[in-house]
Each structure stands twice: as structure tokens, then as C-alpha cells.
Amino acid sequence: MKFTFSLKPENFIIERDDERCIRCGACVQQCAYNAHYYLEEKDKVLGINHNCVGDGRCVAICPTNAIRIKQAENPYRPNYNWTKERMMDLYEQAENGTVLLVGMGAPTPHPVYWDKIVLNASQVTNPSIDPLREPMEVKTFLGSKPDKIEVVFDKNHKPEIKTRITPQLELEVPIMFAAMSFGAISLNACKSLAKAASEMGTFWNTGEGGLHKDLYKYGKNTIVQVASGRFGVHVDYLKAGAAVEIKIGQGAKPGIGGHLPGEKVNHEISVTRAMPEGSDAISPAPHHDIYSIEDLRQLIYSIKEATDYEKPVFVKISAVHNVAAIASGIVRAGADAVVIDGIRGGTGAAPKIIRDNVGIPIELAIAVVDERLRKEGIRNHASLIAAGGFRNSADVIKAIALGADAVYIGTAALMTLGCHVCGMCYKGICNWGIATQRDDLTKRLNPEIGAERAKNLLKGWKHEIQEMLGAMGINSIGSLRGNRLNLRAVDIHEPYLSILGIKPAGA
């Protein structure tokens, strides 16, 4: 235990009930942050509060429930302006003079509009539907839809569709796993999500980390990403996936590139990303071949050409101020789907100041993009996928009612694998075996269990979505899409009401 001087007080207090502690040593053995140790001469297990990040591994693993982790109060004098967090950040920067790094989505108190939007239900004048007794369709197709469908009749008067439909993704449930690269998360985490997605008939996303050879078998349910670093991108990779996603931005760090430190780039990652072992994987902030919508169109069509026009191409941007105009440009550039990632979107590592201050909430972005595309008459040319901090099925269904076709979930998916949102992803020593590449830690996540749990989440949310649809008297998710009349706002005022395009409750 180091005895050094620091202005930073501890963030967590480890409370151990000595009457329950049976000295089994599980907490000592399991904490990668070394927050517990065993003092043999006194036969005592002790905690080092300073090392604790509050990820709850010890709490979960302790066989006698002897451990409690409490948030430490600020021993100094915080006030409304100088909160504990701001004081800690200052002390941290005074010590090392760097950009503060964080993991996870923004925990800032920006309003979460989902909590201020309520759903409708049928009463008397139209019947509600019981999804357990009657069919309830939640299947969703992602991709460009034609303006009209031309039907011709042959000599025997048999109808035939003449319009060529561009490639579509078929989702059994309108929820996909967001882009998280092998590198940011462990291979076992990727395997869990890939397996869960393929068993549930939905999709997972490779992020920009390439596709590991063990994951090619899930290709049918994989969205492969092409980001500014172009890691692991080759024609087999593009052809292995069901769709290709061009990542321009990420909700947690709009306008910022990525940086996977060299110590994480082990043999498997170097092979998957096609880069030297031990070297930093740096994704530039912009794509250096995309400085305009026209450039984006070139890349979209290069990818379509490379994949024989068999796969839809998505473009992912973070929700920023002119998101509607940008989305319109993306659709006109030929994208089959626009992905928008809101300010609460997660990350493995981002500058804290960017994560907490750049971007706009996803609720507003969905509303303005859907509205704009409708007004321009091009809403059918591309699907709209929303991402960034979806916490439950109600958030999902509200997003769909605002105009999204499907959503991506990242943090929620990781939580099924054990994530406790401690936000230490960037440290690379995740106790739960998710955001780490250390062999002894990655083995803590058995993909058999992970896949079952991630699948259970999708199953649960699917049932809940069906129940909510049934309550509204709707028997297909397609009838809810963009149907903002089923939403009402509580405690949202102008101009946000008109941006969201919903009425206040009671109206």
C-alpha cells in the first residue's frame, strides 16, 4: 500500500461486516484494482478505499454478502457550483495536467425526455389487444423502401412485383446491439452478443475492430463497421456481414477519433485489425476521404460496389446541432439507413469534457430527423436507427413512436453481461471481463452465460413492447412508427414540445 500525498479523497468506502467475513479471499482474488487485501498475521481482510472504483465485483462474488460499497461523501466543502465531481476533476488535473478520460455514457443531468413522455392506451372507444392471445407483429425491415410498387400481370393474370427492392435487414425485434469493437470489449463479450443476436434474429455490430475469425460464423447477423481508422476492413470482412455501417461519429465523442492503447493490442487484436502487435490503434477524428456529402456518396457506392449491391449501407453520425440537415444529406448520398447516436451514448474511452458537453439528446434528434425527412419526401429512402442511452423497452417504443425504425443498445446490453457502469472502461482492467484484454479477466465472461443473458433481455423487451402495443390497440409496430399521437409530454415546455412534435398531456 503506497503512502502518498494527494488532495483527492476516496470515492468509495468499502464496508466489511467482520461477523460475516469467512476469510475465503474471493474479494482479494477477484479485484483487479487491488482494493482488498488479507492481513495474515491478524487473520483479517481489509479494504483500500482509494483503489475502489465501485464496480461491485466483490459485492457479487462474496459468498456471505459481507461487503457493502458506499459512495464516499466529500470531506471538503462542496457547494452547488463546486460539486464533489468538479473538485475531484480539478485536483486530478492539477496532479497530472492531462485530458480527463472516462468510459460509459454521459451521466450528466441533461434532461432525459423519455421520462417526460408518456404512452397512450385504449379505453372504451377502441379495443386494446392481448398479445398473448392475438398476433402482434414486431418484425422490422431496415433498408431503403421504394417510392411505389409496380405490379404487372402475366398472361395467366398472375400478379408479379416488378419493382426491384434493395437489400433489407430483417429484424425479429427492433433492437440491435450497438457498435462495440473487439479491442474496446473482449472477444468473449463480442461472442456473447453475436450469439444472442443470431438466436434472437437481430443484429450485432463489430465496431471498428474488425471481425475476429471465430465470429465469421455469425456473419448473417453481423453489421460490419467501416470507421475512420479502417481497421480490419477488407473485402471478405465486408462480404461477411449482413450490412455495412460507415461510422462518422459516436454520441459519446462527436468529432473525436478513437485511440486503443498499444498495450491492449495483443496478438488476436493485431491479426483481426491487420496492424502490428503492441502499436497504438488510432482512428482519426474525421474520415480523411470524406469532407463532404459528395465524398460520403463515393464511399457508400464504393462499398456497395465491393459487396455487389447485396448489402444495405448504414451511416452513423452523432446527434449534433444540424443533425436534420446532415441526415438529409446522408439519405441523398445513398445510405440505406441513418444511425443517430445521442449525447448519452456510451464509449470505452473519451475525453470527459467532450462526453459531457458535446451533442444533443437523442429524443430531439429522432424527432427533427424524422420530421425533416418526411417533409422532404425521402423518409422511405432510408431507415432511421436511434442509439444512445436506451434503458428499457419503454424508451425503445417511445423512440419508435417518435419516428425511429429500430434502436441500438450498447450499455444496456453490456449490463446483461455483468457491467456495473463504473465507467472505468478506459483503464483496461474491467473486473467483469468486458472492457479488458487481460487473459485472467476476459475468462470471467463465459459467452455461454453471456449469450443467454443478453438474449433474455431482448426476449423480455420484446414481450413488453408487445404488451405496450396491445394496450394502445395496435397490432403491428409498423403502425406505431412515427405515430406521435400516441405520445404525450409531461413537464416539457415550448419550444421542445414543437421540436418533439408531441402534445402536452391532457391535450
Partner 1 sequence: MKKLYFREEWCVGCGRCEVACAIEHSESKHPVISYFFEKVRQTPRIIVERKGNISFANTCRHCEEPDCVNACISGALYKDLSGKILYDPAKCVGCYSCIMACPYGAIMKDLNRKERKQIVKCDLCNKREGGPACVEACPNRAIVFEERGE
Applying CB under 8 A, the residues found at the interface with partner 1 are 19-20, 22, 24-26, 29-30, 60-61, 63-64, 439-440, 443-446, 448-449
Rg (CA), the chain: 24
Q: Are 32 and 431 in contact (CB under 8 A)?
A: yes
How, if at all, do strands 243-247 and 313-318 pair? Answer: parallel
To partner 1, the closest distance from the beta carbon of 193 in angstroms equals 17
Phi, psi for residue 341 in degrees, rounded to 5? -110, 120
To partner 1, the closest distance from the beta carbon of 424 in angstroms equals 18
Nearer to partner 1, 197 or 441 (CB): 441
Q: How far is CA 164 from the centre of its chain?
A: 33
Residue 239 carries which side chain, given as an amino acid letter?
K
**Euclidean distance between CA atoms 371 and 367, whole angstroms:** 6
**Euclidean distance between CA atoms 168 and 405, whole angstroms:** 13
Nearer to partner 1, 63 or 506 (CB): 63
Which triple of cell numbers denotes residue 202? 437481430
- DSSP letters for 245-266: EEE---TTSTT--EEE-GGG--
Nearer to partner 1, 196 or 368 (CB): 196
To partner 1, the closest distance from the beta carbon of 453 in angstroms equals 12
To partner 1, the closest distance from the beta carbon of 191 in angstroms equals 13
**Euclidean distance between CA atoms 358 and 77, whole angstroms:** 29
Nearer to partner 1, 25 or 276 (CB): 25
Q: What residues contact residue 291 under an 8 Å CB cut-off, 6+ apart?
A: none
Nearer to partner 1, 404 or 451 (CB): 451
Nearer to partner 1, 170 or 439 (CB): 439
Nearer to partner 1, 205 or 431 (CB): 431
Find the angle CA(114)-CA(424)-CA(249) to the nearest 5 degrees. 55
Residues in the chain: 507
To partner 1, the closest distance from the beta carbon of 418 in angstroms equals 9
To partner 1, the closest distance from the beta carbon of 29 in angstroms equals 6
Handedness of CA 315, 295, 260, 353 (dihedral sign): negative
To partner 1, the closest distance from the beta carbon of 208 in angstroms equals 28
To partner 1, the closest distance from the beta carbon of 467 in angstroms equals 32
Which among 49, 37, 38 has a CA at the least distance from the CA of 10? Answer: 49
DSSP-derived secondary structure letter, 184: T
Q: Are 318 and 249 in contact (CB under 8 A)?
A: yes
**Euclidean distance between CA atoms 455 and 237, whole angstroms:** 25
To partner 1, the closest distance from the beta carbon of 60 in angstroms equals 8
To partner 1, the closest distance from the beta carbon of 366 in angstroms equals 38
Nearer to partner 1, 64 or 83 (CB): 64
Nearer to partner 1, 19 or 40 (CB): 19
Nearer to partner 1, 47 or 229 (CB): 47
Which triple of cell numbers denotes residue 108? 450528466
How, if at all, do strands 313-318 and 337-341 pair? Answer: parallel
Nearer to partner 1, 61 or 119 (CB): 61
To partner 1, the closest distance from the beta carbon of 19 in angstroms equals 7
Nearer to partner 1, 295 or 452 (CB): 452
**Euclidean distance between CA atoms 383 and 330, whole angstroms:** 11
CA distances from 174 to 49, 62, 130, 478 (A): 42, 37, 20, 10
To partner 1, the closest distance from the beta carbon of 57 in angstroms equals 9
DSSP-derived secondary structure letter, 503: E
**Euclidean distance between CA atoms 466 and 486, whole angstroms:** 15
Residue 458 carries which side chain, given as an amino acid letter?
L
Largest distance between two CA atoms of the chain: 95
CB atoms within 10 A of CB 489: 19
